[in-house]
Structure 1
Amino acid sequence: MMEQVQSASLKAYKRTSALDSAMFYMGSLMSFLAKGEDTGGRFALMEYQAKPGNEPPPHVHDWEHELYYVLEGEMEFYCEDKVLVAHAGETIFLPQGKPHAFYIRSPHLRTLILVQAVGDCAVGLDRYFIEMAEPATSMSLPTEAVTYMTDDPSHAIRLGAANGIRFLSREETAELLPHYPGFGVPRKSRSH
């Protein structure tokens, strides 16, 4: 449950996507523009840069809504019986509690990810990303990185559970995301 944070205790700040706000996360580069600790747990905002193969397995956010605003590239989302494709300048909203997955469909992706707490819970996705990441050493995608395809899944499952994220089994994925081809199934990126 979220502790109530008084607005007076929050501080105004300015932050940009730069090395001091960036982490290497599962083969991607993530800049933390607003963390839950900055917003009283109400929301977090990250800039996510990635390439095909950096995607997470199908999952559910129990504590927050998630919104993607694509800055560069193309993403293909699966949520319930929907397949939603987002290009630069488009937004995808994924409600709290809805199983979802995505593919990166362009050679390079840059998107904003906004998560908003639902009810009395604080956002947890930003903490999960930080706990799964390591400090960035450059503002380029890492070349030799651990991804969800190469990592021990028990690590992500444990950290996810502590931060309101539940990963789906193959059986749950087949039932809840009927159009999703499957985690790790190669998808051709589209050049634009």
Structure 2
Amino acid sequence: MRTVHIIEQAQTPTPVNVVGEAITILAGGDLSKPFEMHIQEGVQGGGPPPHFHPWDEAFYVVAGEVEVTVAGTSTTVSAGGYVHIPGGAIHAYKNLSPTAKMIGVVSDPRGGQFFAAVDRLRVPEDLPRILEIAAAHGVTFLL
């Protein structure tokens, strides 16, 4: 059953480490259907390679600059900027500034489930396992 979901600052969940990106899953799964909310923080050059999944995704850049590429078109999004990516669109992002922070919203619980499942796995040594987990959660990476 869905209920009101409130997280006070002292109760913020511990971030998971997704290949160098710290991702805090604030709302996910059945608790917050039909969307999830994450805080994503990374360092310069960080971010996922081109990939796609069946759910919509949106980012609001809180700090820094991020290059977002959707369907081959790249745009630099600075703090205060927003981007929406439709489900099925091939996309990637790369942090351009020394640090970047975004609020991410996805329309399927598999997003947060994927992040939690790959917590602390590393590239290149864990890449086969990461790709296996991705496929199981509906994410396809184009390497």
Task: Normalising by structure 2, report the TM-score.
Answer: 0.89
The code of the aligned residue for 2:41 comes to Q
Give a deviation string over 1:128-150, Cα, whole Å, max 9, x none.
0001115xxxxxxxxxxx654x3
Deviation at 1:54, TM superposition (A): 2.9
TM-score by length of 1: 0.67
Match among 28, 46, 60 for residue 54 of structure 1: 46
Q: Which residue, 115, 119, 126 being the options, matches 1:152?
A: 126
Query: Is the counterpart of residue 166 in structure 1 residue 101 in structure 2?
Result: no
Q: 1:48 is matched by which residue type in structure 2?
A: Q
Alignment pair present for 1:126 and 2:112: yes
The answer to whether residue 31 in structure 2 is matched with residue 38 in structure 1 is yes
Confirm whether residue 68 of structure 1 aligns to residue 59 of structure 2: yes
Change (3 A) 1:88 1:114: same
Distance in 2 (alpha carbons) for counterparts of 1:19 and 1:10: 19
- CA RMSD for the aligned pairs? 1.9
The 10-residue stretch of structure 1 (19-28 or 123-132) with the greater mean CA deviation from structure 2: 19-28
Shift of 1:55: 1.6
CA 1:38–1:65: 2 relative to 1, 3 Å: same
1-side partners of 2:83 and 2:122: how far apart?
23
What are the equivalent positions in structure 2 for 1:7-26 lying under 5 Å apart? 9-16=1-8, 21-22=13-14, 23-26=16-19
Can you give the 5+ residue segments of structure 2 that lack an aligned partner in the other structure?
none
1:28 deviates by 2.1
SS of match in other structure, 1:50: strand
Which structure 1 segments of 5+ residues have no match? 1-8, 118-122, 135-145, 170-192
The 3-state SS of whatever aligns with 2:56 is strand
One-letter amino acid of the structure 1 residue matched with residue 72 of structure 2: D
Q: Displacement of 1:106 after TM fit? A: 0.3
Distance in structure 1 (CA, Å) of the matches to 2:10 and 2:40? 12
Size of the aligned set, in residue pairs, is 142
- In the aligned structure 1, how far is the partner of 2:110 from the partner of 2:17? 18
Residue identity over aligned pairs, in percent, reads 24
Aligned residue type for 2:110:
G
**3-state DSSP of counterpart to 1:159:** helix
Structure 2 letter corresponding to 1:35: G
Q: Secondary structure at the match of 2:105?
A: strand
Moved over 6 A (4+): none
The structure having more radius of gyration, on CA atoms, is 1
